[in-house]
Chains A and B, each alone.
Chain A
Amino acid sequence: MAYRVLIVDDSPAMRSFVRRVILLSGFELSECFDAGDGREALSLLQHEWVDAILTDINMPGMDGEEFLRLLAADDVLRSIPVIVISTDATQTRIRRLMALGARGYITKPFVPETLRAELEATLGVTVD
């Protein structure tokens, strides 16, 4: 099965890194969309469907938390699983984002295997 994913992060280097981890984890991607912040991501989601979103928190314009809040408030978009990738490792932040509906939370820096495990748990499959 080929997946469509959206990577939201203001760092092009980070988007590239995450994309590589997804591919090396064995997931086939039919589409891999990029967005630099929450606003850009929402705009893209108006006309593209994705199977999963991976988002940073600290971004200019609309940050990840606001983005998650808007996704949760949308009847259609709220069903897309979201994995948060952030340097913020505080329990306050993590709890808040999980309460907003994030399916997984990864603290930067991370080993690729952690993202693979989150993807497998979130997408409900393992890849061999």
Chain B
Amino acid sequence: MDQIVVGMADCKIGDTPEQVLTTYALGSCIGLMVHDPKVHVGGMLHFMLPDSSIDRNRVRDNPYMFADTGIPQLLDEVCNRGAVKRRLIVHAVGGAKMLDSEGVFEIGKRNYLAMRKILWKAGLLLHGEAVGGVNSRTVRLEIGSGKIWLQESGTQRELTLPAQQKGVNTWPTVSSS
């Protein structure tokens, strides 16, 4: 196993099966993971804030800090390494309600909303998510299998089953079938 750590305001791409992308301490930040199961290429972005217009200077140094600059960057990079956008399996983790340094509680929710908007405009739907709440999370993406491991409150669970399994969705339906 070749572990690649994704830091805060950071983004990494994996393109060999033994690689595992990991990011820690997702509080109000969001870890966005994309994976192409056909070519086994995936990426993980750890962003902290929703909107880069508050600090244009920071964007030049680090586009990964913001949802609106980081997400398009993640998609570009993963596609440059051979992934096809249409095939991407997408998961999001984080966006918890945390007391940040300014005592403002809403960053997690705003990050989530910004991410949803950008994914919609980019033409991507989510396949799974573990967001909100009050706990910090750690998450791992296995490039070989596409599996995502979530650690929260001392327990670990798999966030998703491999894309090959049919009939799996996490959104509740009212339908009779």
Contacts and interface: CB of A to CB of B under 8 A. Distances in A.
B101 interface: no
Q: For chain A, give the interface size range.
A: 20 to 34
Contacts, number: 59
A41 interface: no
Interface string A1-39: 000000000000000000001001110000000000000
Contacts of B124: 24
Interface stretch (A43-51, A65-73, A102-110): A102-110
A121 B173 contact: yes
Contact of B164 (A26, A116, A120, A128): A128
A122 interface: yes
Interface in B49-76: none
Interface of B: 37, 86, 116, 120, 123-126, 163-164, 166-177
30 contacts: A21-B125, A24-B123, A24-B125, A94-B174, A98-B176, A104-B174, A104-B176, A111-B126, A112-B120, A113-B125, A113-B126, A113-B170, A113-B171, A114-B172, A114-B173, A116-B125, A116-B171, A117-B171, A117-B173, A118-B173, A118-B174, A118-B175, A121-B173, A121-B175, A121-B177, A122-B177, A126-B169, A128-B37, A128-B163, A128-B164
Interface of A: 21, 24-26, 83, 94, 98, 103-106, 111-114, 116-118, 120-122, 124, 126, 128
